[in-house]
Amino acid sequence: MKTETTIQGLTASLNPARSARKIIGFVPTMGNLHQGHLNLVREAKKLCDVVVVSIFVNPIQFGPNEDFDSYPRTLEQDQQLLADVGCDIVFAPTVEQMYGNKPRLTNISVSEITNDLCGLQRPGHFDGVAVVVTKLFNIVQPNYAFFGQKDYQQLAVIRQFVKDLNIPLEVIGVPIARAEDGLALSSRNGYLSPEHRQVAPTIYQSLKAAEQQLQSGVDLDTVLANIRNTLTEVGFVIDYVEARTPELQKIHTFNQDLVLFIAAKIGQTRLIDNLLVKYTV
């Protein structure tokens, strides 16, 4: 496995694969890798000849009071995990390599689906994601790109601009990887104190309870209120608890699949999770 830190180096490493028309898979990450990230790589290995994983903590997707400076950076450990799972190339550029030192004048903004959920709490976040992912797509030029369903809204935003801008690749969504107690794996779980780590699985438990309630006919507003109560009782401060259609539209009829979304803080740590609830008659 190679690690490249410059665009030139990465291009040189990928050129033989491109010339041989190999299928290139790409997994963008911010590092501090866990089994959720590694599952994306495993999926990529199934479909692709060459797998590139980027590790880049993207400054422009963090708000001024967010955790850009303290975000865990663990490159050596990440390289070991990626080598073990069969990644071919790690791309770990500096901020300067990605953004240069002259101002960037171009933005990529996806409307409607970003004016909701995390987009309301994190203004500019999805623009920052869209810009960096587009730059990475142009640098790597993959055939397939892999993203986790844990960041459901992010995945929808990426699918949208890939379609709108005719970016020539296929986006693959990968199911959420969870700890045994149900907590969705996240690099931010490392911020949790032992006490907070113990209550964190309440997020997933409340989603599963909500699924049961919905499928046994409890109305949606009551179900959402139950989630809010459960989380507040164990000490969460709620950003949002919402239901949307799988396409992120507001729910108007109840006889359809829906996705439940939670963003909530325990201590200083903001956790997100979601669950697709199938409509059953």
Sign of CA dihedral 160, 163, 167, 169: positive
Closest of 264, 239, 269 to residue 72, by C-alpha: 269
**Nearest-5° angle of CA 57, CA 273, CA 278?**
135
**Does residue 206 touch ligand AMP according to CB under 6 A?**
no
Is the Cβ of residue 135 or residue 150 nearer to ligand AMP in the bound state? 150
**Does residue 37 touch ligand AMP according to CB under 6 A?**
yes
C-alpha 103/C-alpha 254 separation (Å) is 48
Residue 276 half-sphere exposure toward CB, CA atoms < 13 A: 13
* CB-CB contact of 172 with 147 (8 Å): yes
Token reading at 33 = 């890798």
**Does residue 176 touch ligand AMP according to CB under 6 A?**
yes
Is the Cβ of residue 129 or residue 243 nearer to ligand AMP in the bound state? 129
Near ligand AMP by CB under 6 A: residue from 78, 88, 127, 151: 151
C-alpha 121/C-alpha 61 separation (Å) is 13
Is the Cβ of residue 223 or residue 272 nearer to ligand AMP in the bound state? 272
Q: Where would I find the H helices in 103-151?
A: 118-121, 125-140
Token reading at 41 = 């790589």
Has 34 been annotated as catalytic?
Answer: no
CB of 55 to ligand AMP, least distance (A): 8
**Does residue 269 touch ligand AMP according to CB under 6 A?**
no
Which residues between 225 and 254 bind ligand AMP (CB under 6 A)? none
Closest of 216, 219, 259, 257 to residue 240, by C-alpha: 259
CB of 185 to ligand AMP, least distance (A): 4
Is the Cβ of residue 76 or residue 221 nearer to ligand AMP in the bound state? 76
Token reading at 133 = 């992912």
**Does residue 92 touch ligand AMP according to CB under 6 A?**
no
Near ligand AMP by CB under 6 A: residue from 14, 24, 30, 203: 30
Which residues between 119 and 148 bind ligand AMP (CB under 6 A)? 147-148
C-alpha 225/C-alpha 123 separation (Å) is 26
Active-site position among 34, 37, 196, 252: 37
**Does residue 184 touch ligand AMP according to CB under 6 A?**
yes
Contacting positions for ligand AMP (CB under 6 A): 29-30, 36-37, 39-40, 147-148, 150-151, 174, 176-177, 184-187
Q: Which residues are catalytic?
A: 37
